[in-house]
Every structure is written in C-alpha cells, then in structure tokens.
Amino acid sequence: MNAHRGMAMAAVAAATLLLLTGCLGEEGDDRGGSVDPVGTWGDTSDMSAPSLVLADGGGLTGTDGCNRLTGTWTVDESDHVEFHEVAQTRKACEGVDTWLEGLSQATIADDTMTVIDQDGSEIGTLEKAD
C-alpha cells in the first residue's frame, strides 16, 4: 500500500510542478505585468519627433528627435514599463527638445504612454501609433 501511496504523491507533485511552470509564461517572457507596451509610440514618420518602438522580445529602439536610442524593457508588478541599458548617440541638434533621453520608466493608459525620469517626474507622453 505504501508503494501506491508514494506513486500517487509523486504524481501529484509532478502535476503541481507542471501547473506552476505554466504560470511562469514562455521562456524569455519577462514582461510580468498585464499591460502590453509592444508597438510603436510616437510619430516615426517625423524624424524630429520623439518615438519608441518596443519589440515583442523586450528590445527597444527609438529617437529623441535627434539622437537614436536602443535598449531593453520589461514590465514590473505595478504595470510600469521599466527601461534598461538605454544607449544613445550624442549628436547636437539645434531646436530639438530631447526630453526622451531622460526616460527611466513609463505608465500606459489607453493609447498614451507617460514617460517618467529617474526622479519619478513625468517628462512627456507618446501616443500609440499602431
């Protein structure tokens, strides 16, 4: 009887492990929250306008209206988009407000991304383009 009980417990443990693994999501999917920021934010047809493109795999490209941006992103438990390892070119462009270079995180409500700097201050917004 003990052998059957041990096998039953092993089966329950294996089923539990499978269920928990399914809750973790797909490998490499570290977005975490319920918002889906994937897509284009801002006007990419106007090279002097700020824009971000957030790829499905967590990659980020964009422009602050002058300099090119590249990096990665994730979504935390509070549904904030966190920007990581963002690098940018350093061109001098007259008359361009390069506010997007200060991005640290963002929130999304409907089709508006509100970009926040490292101090937690709102620095601008981008509208969903696609």
Structural domain spans, the chain = 29-127
Q: Is the pLDDT of residue 30 over 90?
A: no
Q: Is the pLDDT of residue 3 over 80?
A: no
Q: Which pLDDT score is estimated for 20?
A: 35
Tens-digit pLDDT profile for residues 107-125: 999 999 999 999 999 999 9
Which strands form 51-54's sheet, in the order they lie side by side?
39-42, 51-54, 59-63, 68-75, 81-88, 105-109, 112-116, 122-127
Q: Which pLDDT score is estimated for 47?
A: 84
The pTM score is 0.72
Domain boundaries 29-127, CATH class: mainly beta
